[in-house]
Amino acid sequence: MLEQYDLHNLLVIDIETVPQYSTHDEVPPHLQKLWDLKTQYQRKDETAENYYERAGIWAEFGKIVCISAGIFTGTKDAIGLRIKSFAGHDEKELLTKFSALLFSLSANLVMVAHNGKEFDFPYICRRLLVNGLPFPPQLQLAGKKPWEIIHLDTMELWKFGDYKNYTSLNLLTAIFDIPTPKDDIDGSMVGHVYWNEQQLDRICTYCQKDVVATAQLIRRYRGEDLIKDEMITIVAP
């Protein structure tokens, strides 16, 4: 599977998002009301104030604090992965730098993410729009037919047309015997680590590990050997 793709024309990404404000009390009153309405069915018996810690999931109430991007390097017999992260408190600056990378690459570049079609790609597009930034060609989706959008989603690929449930990246790495280092945080903790512990570097490391895991999953989908640790390079910001 995926043998038709040139690995060197793939860009593997992952994003980490957090609520726009540290607490519900800091949210402007008019947005508090809209938050209450937006989440009234999801939060069930939980208050809107307590539920706000999950606001990073929604592009209308969250922001991106890290985008990690990986490209395959080397040759068929010695494949590698090179990862660069765009992280910071200023979302517009972060997105501007990430967009500059995309503008510098081929318009036919294939972007890849796990659950990317449901989360990463639309989230980036929405936040680009909110920040008044132009769309790189790889994210120009409006007016395109589904088969014209050159995005790959490793979760969607695993479904093979079955839309009944979500399959996590952690589960797929486990069943494909892809070794992953134990993390001190998970996705549900990113907002707390950002706002309460103010440790963006930890979030960035977590994001990079997901890019590595997704790239290794692509290798498994193609029936190929995993990328060796010594062939994985993290580029300094």
Q: pLDDT tens-digit profile of 19-66?
A: 999 999 999 999 999 999 999 988 888 999 999 999 999 999 999 999
Q: Give the closest residue to 227 by CA, choosing from 65, 12, 25, 34.
A: 12
pLDDT, tens digit, for every residue of 62-105? 999 999 999 999 988 899 999 999 999 999 999 999 999 999 99
Compute how many other C-beta atoms are within 10 angstroms of the C-beta atom of residue 150: 14
pLDDT, tens digit, for every residue of 134-184? 999 999 988 888 778 889 999 999 999 887 778 999 999 999 999 887 677
Please give the pLDDT value at position 80: 98
Domains contained in the chain, CATH given: 7-20+61-235 (3.30.420.10)
DSSP helix/strand/coil, 112: strand
